[in-house]
Structure 1
Amino acid sequence: MNRSVNWKTTTALKPRKKPRQERSSKVVDRILDAALTLTREQGTKTPTTLAIAQRAGLSVGSVYQYYPNKEAILLDLARRWLGAFPEVIAKRIAAPRPTSRDEFQREVDKLFVDTSRLYLDNANLMPVIEAITGNPDLRPIQNEYDEQIIALYAAWLRHVNPALQDDVASRLGVVMMEVGHVCRLIGLKRDRKAFDLIQDDVKTMWLALVAPYLDFNQSQEGFS
């Protein structure tokens, strides 16, 4: 994907219309699925609107009914990617509460498997994510999802340790999200082996970070 993509104005990146019917939603899904497939196939080359339309089995005119340009399509893909994380973390909150360090580590392993798949399967979207982060007009889009993710990490920690104070859980959530994201981006820019090693390092850091707040030596009714 071209790292010099211009993200200067949000108006030109907004979808032309939101799908109101199931048929329209399916058309948008076809456009986004086609764009995602092409970003994975083409690596650093940004797919054209024509290529996206052809892969989706649509006319270019049909695509333009929903998106003004290819950048708007990529931005919507980024939103979809960011929106996948809350559901993944929520799965760990819904799981039975771990009562030992080993059980908690297995929960962390499951979380990393699911979230790492999101990074690896969408590696070519990362320049778009970085563009959003670096653009003051677009940054609020990522901030909205970041706040959700931090809140869910905090809720997960409180699920494990109900005695954990809200402010502490939120602070830990910030570190978990920021460190995990930045380190994975670094890994993606190298190779799969580096990504896996960095991911293992992040897990080690996570466990070291939260261990003092999740004392599994205490009874299930309270942690010190």
Structure 2
Amino acid sequence: MSKPLQPRNLPSQKRSIARQEQILEVAGELLEKLGPAALTTIRIAEEVGISVGTLYHYFPNKEAILHAMGQRWLQQMANTLTQDEHYSPATLQEFVELFVNHMHQLYRKQRGLLHLVQGMFAIPQLMTLDEQHDELVINHVASRLEKLGVPLPLSERQRIGRTFHETSHALLLVVVNQSKPRGSKTLEELKRMLHTLAQSLP
């Protein structure tokens, strides 16, 4: 039987919620420093300043912590795309600028993102979160293309949305792990690539 991935107790008090968030923040920092193989519940508990038993009150194992981090990443992505909907770019070029800038801000905030994304590919229980993440972005781009007057059927707009997503996702993971000068150049190159794609649309 596979280990449970959900927290055993959903915290109802602000103090408990704050503790759960603290555990996830520390786990993200350690994941960034150590990588997934060296990340353990013992190390996380030590960094938080609690016993392993207390940690298990919130998360029964390391996989549950990674799953919760993935869920939080998914929710932050949904929030970012909802925020993006409040803007009304007049052209595809303006949309590219908004899309890349908002995604960049989000990717920079998530500690240990590269390892978390790798975990989504490697850990079967996290693959569903990765699929949901892809679907969110692809459908968002497809919807925006329709609003901007791109005369293509949904399936084609989704195909283009996947190209937007796969390209930006791969390069943003590079950007957040580069020095600021190199990251800025890579970010501009990403925008140029997506601008070129947008200009080719009917």
**Which bracket does the TM-score occupy, shorter chain normalised?**
0.7 to 0.9
Seen in structure 2, the aligned counterparts of structure 1 residues 87 and 162 have a Cα distance that, compared at 3 Å, is farther
Q: Distance in 1 between matches of 2:167 and 2:51?
A: 42
Seen in structure 2, the aligned counterparts of structure 1 residues 116 and 43 have a Cα distance that, compared at 3 Å, is farther
Mean alpha-carbon deviation: is it higher for 117-126 or for 173-182?
117-126
Pick from 53, 58, 73: which aligns with 1:61?
53
Residues 1:86 and 2:86 aligned together: no
Seen in structure 2, the aligned counterparts of structure 1 residues 13 and 114 have a Cα distance that, compared at 3 Å, is farther
Mean alpha-carbon deviation: is it higher for 173-182 or for 72-81?
72-81
Which structure has the larger Rg? 1
> Which runs of structure 2 are paired with 1:21-60 in the superposition (5 Å)?
21-23=12-14, 24-40=16-32, 42=33, 44=35, 46-60=38-52
Query: Which amino acid counterpart does residue 66 of structure 2 have in structure 1?
Result: L
Report what 2:168 is aligned to. Answer: 180
Q: Percent identity?
A: 23
Q: Distance in 2 between matches of 1:55 and 1:138?
A: 24
Report what 1:221 is aligned to. Answer: none
Q: Distance in 2 between matches of 1:136 and 1:55?
A: 27
Query: Which amino acid counterpart does residue 184 of structure 1 have in structure 2?
Result: L
Alpha-carbon distance, 1:150 to partner: 0.9
Seen in structure 2, the aligned counterparts of structure 1 residues 183 and 13 have a Cα distance that, compared at 3 Å, is farther
Query: Which amino acid counterpart does residue 147 of structure 1 have in structure 2?
Result: E
Pick from 110, 118, 125: which aligns with 1:130?
118
Mean alpha-carbon deviation: is it higher for 188-197 or for 111-120?
188-197
Alpha-carbon distance, 1:21 to partner: 2.0
Q: Distance in 1 between matches of 2:18 and 2:125?
A: 29
Report what 1:19 is aligned to. Answer: 10
Total equivalences in the alignment:
200
Q: Secondary structure at the match of 2:112?
A: helix
Contact conserved, 1:154 with 1:172, CA < 8 A, in 2?
yes
Residues 1:160 and 2:152 aligned together: no
Q: Distance in 2 between matches of 1:172 and 1:147?
A: 13
Q: Which runs of 5+ in 1 are unaligned?
A: 1-8, 214-223
Pick from 193, 203, 207: which aligns with 2:191?
203
**Cα root mean square deviation, aligned:** 2.9
Q: Which runs of 5+ in 2 are unaligned?
A: none
Alpha-carbon distance, 1:202 to partner: 1.6
Residues 1:145 and 2:133 aligned together: yes
**CA deviations over 1:95-147 (Å, ceiling 9, x no partner):** 12x33x4xx43443233222113323335231221132144553222112211
Alpha-carbon distance, 1:65 to partner: 1.3
Alignment TM-score, normalising by the size of structure 1: 0.73
